[in-house]
């Protein structure tokens, strides 16, 4: 097996992570959690059937905060089973995670969007005998949360959502919203939209959905940086959720766990199906199950259908990838990466997702993830 030399970037690893890790689906962006995931205490529930062989010492990782709730549980259970290993996953953003990965400061990164071709090329400098690949590990709905007292069942379609976040619909009683919510007492008050201020995979996935489902109303490229005029920026999904929770008349987007943990009502999406679809893990799973693998070789990047009209399929979803070297991993991190990601992709690890507001990766795809993890070198 080809392993990288051990003499690179040890000194810069801590500094780079300290800067970038100033990772909760409590998010996918730049949340201000300063500590890494912790676990292994007396009250931890050890994961069963974990293969700890070859795992020892510390493993640094960073990136998407969209998977943070799942990552916290994974780390806690894994470290209780593999007591000689410390997993430190820093909550930052997909962009930060990829940057840390391509500079060699982490063993793996979390990202809510697959590597771009130029990022794959950049990764070859670190993965000396291979390249960075995308392993889908966490699925889930992106909830559109709102704060509108007296309105407990708000329905929007892709067009209305695009126009709200594009500052074209500015009042809650706009005819487009009223048509979708007959009988609702919509106030004649301003809409305050809230978006991620930093580069975010959640933002990019929202853009993919709006660009595909409402192309006439959302003409921006799907990028990590917020593209539209107006609205208010907030730091990380946690910041967006906090603003929505506090400000009457506001609306924002974040991973479902933020809405659940803070009792923020969420929009049901009119997809053209018989009934509007709620944001929950079961409905997100129905949409993700239709995804196709678009990556080649060991890369398992997915092609999601954001325009699905299948009954009960919630189309506004994201998939978080763990980004690793297919070959050329560092000797000191390879055993930990294979052991830990082998656990997260296991039946037990994926079960945690459905129990905590996430959507497990479909079995057919996850089987390939497990095979790929086992073959990392």
pLDDT given at position 165: 98
Q: What is the C-alpha separation between 359 and 314, in angstroms, rounded?
A: 11
pLDDT cut 70: percent of the chain above it: 88
pLDDT given at position 151: 97
Where exactly are the structural domains of the chain? Answer: 10-140+291-304+318-374, 142-287
pLDDT given at position 68: 87
Question: Which residues of 6-107 form beta strands (DSSP E)?
Answer: 57-63, 85-91
Burial class (CB in 10 A: 0-12, 13-18, 19+), 351: exposed
pLDDT given at position 336: 97
pLDDT one-digit tens code per residue, 80-125 = 999 999 999 998 888 899 999 999 999 999 999 899 999 999 999 9
Judged against a pLDDT cut of 80, whether residue 22 lies above it is answered with no
Q: Does domain 142-287 have CATH number 3.30.10.20?
A: no
pLDDT one-digit tens code per residue, 289-312 = 889 999 999 999 999 999 999 999
pLDDT one-digit tens code per residue, 180-232 = 999 999 999 999 999 999 888 889 999 999 999 999 999 999 998 999 999 99
Query: Do the two domains 10-140+291-304+318-374 and 142-287 of this chain adopt the same fold?
Result: yes
For the chain, the C-alpha Rg in angstroms (whole number) is: 20
pLDDT given at position 272: 96
Q: Which residue has the higher pLDDT, 1 or 49?
A: 49
Are the C-beta atoms of 115 and 325 separated by less than 8 Å?
Answer: no
DSSP secondary structure, 69-91, as one string: HHHHHHHHHHHHHSTTEEEEEEE
pLDDT one-digit tens code per residue, 262-281 = 999 999 999 999 999 999 99
- What's the predicted TM-score (pTM) here? 0.77
CATH superfamily of 10-140+291-304+318-374: Periplasmic binding protein-like II (3.40.190.10)
pLDDT cut 90: percent of the chain above it: 75
Q: DSSP assignment, residue 113? A: S
Give the mean model confidence (pLDDT) for residues 31-60.
65
pLDDT given at position 1: 44
pLDDT one-digit tens code per residue, 159-174 = 999 999 999 999 999 9
Judged against a pLDDT cut of 70, whether residue 364 lies above it is answered with yes
17-21, 43-47, 101-105, 234-238: the lowest-pLDDT one:
17-21
pLDDT given at position 49: 81
34-43, 231-240, 338-347: the lowest-pLDDT one:
34-43
pLDDT given at position 15: 38
- Check the CA dihedral 184-185-188-192 and report its sign: negative
Q: How far apart are the first and last CA of the chain?
A: 6
pLDDT given at position 280: 94
Give the mean model confidence (pLDDT) for residues 318-328.
96
The CA–CA distances, whole Å, from 356 to 26, 161, 260, 280, 350 equal 11, 26, 10, 10, 10
pLDDT given at position 46: 78
Are the C-beta atoms of 30 and 20 separated by less than 8 Å?
Answer: no
């Amino acid at each position: 097996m080809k392993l990288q030399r051990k003499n690179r970037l040890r000194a810069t690893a801590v500094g780079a992570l300290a800067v970038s890790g100033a990772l909760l689906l409590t998010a996918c962006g730049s949340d201000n959690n300063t500590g890494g995931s912790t676990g292994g205490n007396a009250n931890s529930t050890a994961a069963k059937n974990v293969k700890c062989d070859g795992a020892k010492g510390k493993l640094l990782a960073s990136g998407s905060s969209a998977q943070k709730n799942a990552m916290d549980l994974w780390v806690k259970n894994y470290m209780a089973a593999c007591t000689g290993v410390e997993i430190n996953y820093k909550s930052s953003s997909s962009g930060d995670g990829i940057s840390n990965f391509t500079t060699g400061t982490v063993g793996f990164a979390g990202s809510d969007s697959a590597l771009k071709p130029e990022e794959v090329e950049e990764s070859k400098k670190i993965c000396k005998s291979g390249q960075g690949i995308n392993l889908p590990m966490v699925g889930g709905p992106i909830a559109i949360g709102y704060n509108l007292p007296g309105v407990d069942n708000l329905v929007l379609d892709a067009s209305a959502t695009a126009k709200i976040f594009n500052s074209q619909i500015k009042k809650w009683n706009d005819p487009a919203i009223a048509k979708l919510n007959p009988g609702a007492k919509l106030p004649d008050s301003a809409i305050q939209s809230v978006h991620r201020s930093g580069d975010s995979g959640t933002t990019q996935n929202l853009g993919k959905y709006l660009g595909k489902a409402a192309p006439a109303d959302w003409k921006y490229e799907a990028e990590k940086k917020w593209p539209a005029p107006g609205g208010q920026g907030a730091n990380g999904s946690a910041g967006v959720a906090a603003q929505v929770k506090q400000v009457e008349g506001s609306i924002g987007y974040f991973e479902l766990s933020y809405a659940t943990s803070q009792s923020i009502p969420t929009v049901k999406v009119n997809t053209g199906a018989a009934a509007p679809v709620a944001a929950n893990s079961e409905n997100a799973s129905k949409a993700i199950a239709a995804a196709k693998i678009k990556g080649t070789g060991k890369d398992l990047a997915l092609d999601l259908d954001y325009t699905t009209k299948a009954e009960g399929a919630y189309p506004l979803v994201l998939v978080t990838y763990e980004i690793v070297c297919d070959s050329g991993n560092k000797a000191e991190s390879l055993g930990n990466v294979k052991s830990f990601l082998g656990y997260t992709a296991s039946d037990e690890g994926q079960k945690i997702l459905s129990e905590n507001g996430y959507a497990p990766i479909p079995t057919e795809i996850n089987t390939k993830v497990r095979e790929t993890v086992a073959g990392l070198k």
